[in-house]
Amino acid sequence: MDELAKNPDQFHLLGIRQWLQQPEIAEEYCAVFIDTPPSKGLMTQAALAAATQVFVPVKYEPPHPPIAGMDAMLHFIDSE
């Protein structure tokens, strides 16, 4: 965890997955949540590449349901 905090730029698209698979990390945690900004940036791409499951919170604000934004995010996730 310390290495990621010290050098976040060194973790490219597959770097997070490799880091999470290290025995000292994998044996210590049964689940890891990676919170990224709502964008399609490098950190989001890296988190998706490392993910085995994805949780996307959605805030409903009538009268504009977040369908378009959610649809765009699902297409982005599918493309990764």
pTM of the predicted protein model: 0.63
Structural contact between residues 33 and 66, judged by C-beta atoms closer than 8 angstroms: no
Confidence of residue 3 (pLDDT cuts 50, 70, 90): low
Residue 2: pLDDT band by 50, 70, 90 thresholds? low
Give the whole-angstrom CA distance, residue 39 versus residue 12: 16
Write down the pLDDT at residue 15. Answer: 79
pLDDT per residue as tens digits for the range 12-69: 656 788 888 889 888 999 888 888 887 888 888 888 888 888 888 877 777 776 676 7
Residue owning tokens 């499951």: 53
DSSP 53: S
Delimit the domains of the chain by residue range.
2-79
3-class state of residue 51 by DSSP: coil
- Which residues lie closer than 8 Å to 8 by C-beta, 6 or more apart? 43
Q: What is the pLDDT of residue 60?
A: 74
pLDDT at 50: 85
| Cis peptide preceding 65, ω within 30 of 0 | no
